[in-house]
Amino acid sequence: MPTGVALRDVHQQLFDAAERVLLRDGPSALTSRAVTTEAGCAKGVLHRHFADFDAFLAELVLDRVARIDQQAAALRASAGTGTVAGNLTGALTDLFASVAVAIVGLVTSRDELRTRLRQARPAGVPVLAEATAMIASYLSAERERGRLTPDADVDALAPTLIGAGHLLFADRKGTPPEAEAVQRVVVTVIAQAAPAPNPVPSEPAPGVDGGAADTRRG
């Protein structure tokens, strides 16, 4: 097997193992030994591929960020289909029902990891920053299609939606919110940006044909 393919396989095996530990036990339980034990390999394997554990964690975060980039492309492509609220509900659920919330907790809990990540992404919290950009790009596409008002402030709506979604899913050990609860928040946030429905024409009153009423008797 070519070396590059084998290397990617090892990295992915370790990343997947770290994700399982993170989701199951939280950031404090994520150690190099926990990862290699979960992956079913010797502890030295991790250190043969990464300079140290924080370097491994930085690559893990960037790998998961790349997945958001893929999701962003799919979400933007959905603009003009379905409903805006439905598309946003699905995107937030897919994002925060995955490892995203746990990754944010990991980044905020490790100073050295944040320092390393700033070298590649100097602004914002990884995952949340990319997720906000994903939502803003989608909202812009919907605004261009007239499914949001021309003055819809996507730069304000996007972080509001991400913040609300993060709070809904933040309890790692709790039951995830129902889709209806997520959609209710989405609808509330974007309410002012939704175009007003076209008024339904009223029926003319009996005896009225658009001019004066006919008062003649037979």
What is the three-class DSSP state of 173?
A: coil
Confidence at 5, pLDDT banded by 50, 70, 90: very low
> Quick one: 43 and 69 in the same domain?
no
> Quick one: 45 and 114 in the same domain?
no
In sequence order, which ranges of the chain are alpha helices (DSSP H)? 3-25, 32-39, 43-49, 53-77, 84-96, 100-109, 111-120, 128-144, 154-169, 179-190
> What is the pLDDT, as a whole number, of residue 1?
38
Higher pLDDT, 112 or 209: 112
For the whole model, what pTM was predicted?
Answer: 0.78
> What is the pLDDT, as a whole number, of residue 123?
66
> What is the pLDDT, as a whole number, of residue 215?
47
Q: How many CB atoms lie within 10 A of CB 203?
A: 7
> What is the pLDDT, as a whole number, of residue 155?
96
- 20 located within any domain: yes
pLDDT tens-place string over residues 74-102: 999 999 999 999 999 999 999 887 778 88
Tally of domains in the chain = 2
Tell me the C-alpha distance between 93 and 70, whole Å. Answer: 15
Crossing angle for the helix pair 32-39 and 53-77, nearest 10 degrees?
60
Two tokens at 157? 């709506």
Crossing angle for the helix pair 111-120 and 53-77, nearest 10 degrees?
50
> Quick one: 19 and 109 in the same domain?
no
Contacts of 147 (CB under 8 A, 6+ apart): 79, 80, 84, 195
> Quick one: 39 and 59 in the same domain?
no
Crossing angle for the helix pair 84-96 and 100-109, nearest 10 degrees?
50
Tell me the C-alpha distance between 67 and 70, whole Å. Answer: 5
pLDDT at 213 over 50: no
Confidence at 217, pLDDT banded by 50, 70, 90: very low
Q: How many CB atoms lie within 10 A of CB 75?
A: 22
> Quick one: 14 and 120 in the same domain?
no
- Where in the sequence is the domain holding 137, given as residue range(s)? 53-193
Q: What is the mean pLDDT of residues 157-183?
A: 87
In sequence order, which ranges of 81-147 are alpha helices (DSSP H)? 84-96, 100-109, 111-120, 128-144
> Quick one: 94 and 145 in the same domain?
yes
> What is the pLDDT, as a whole number, of residue 133?
94
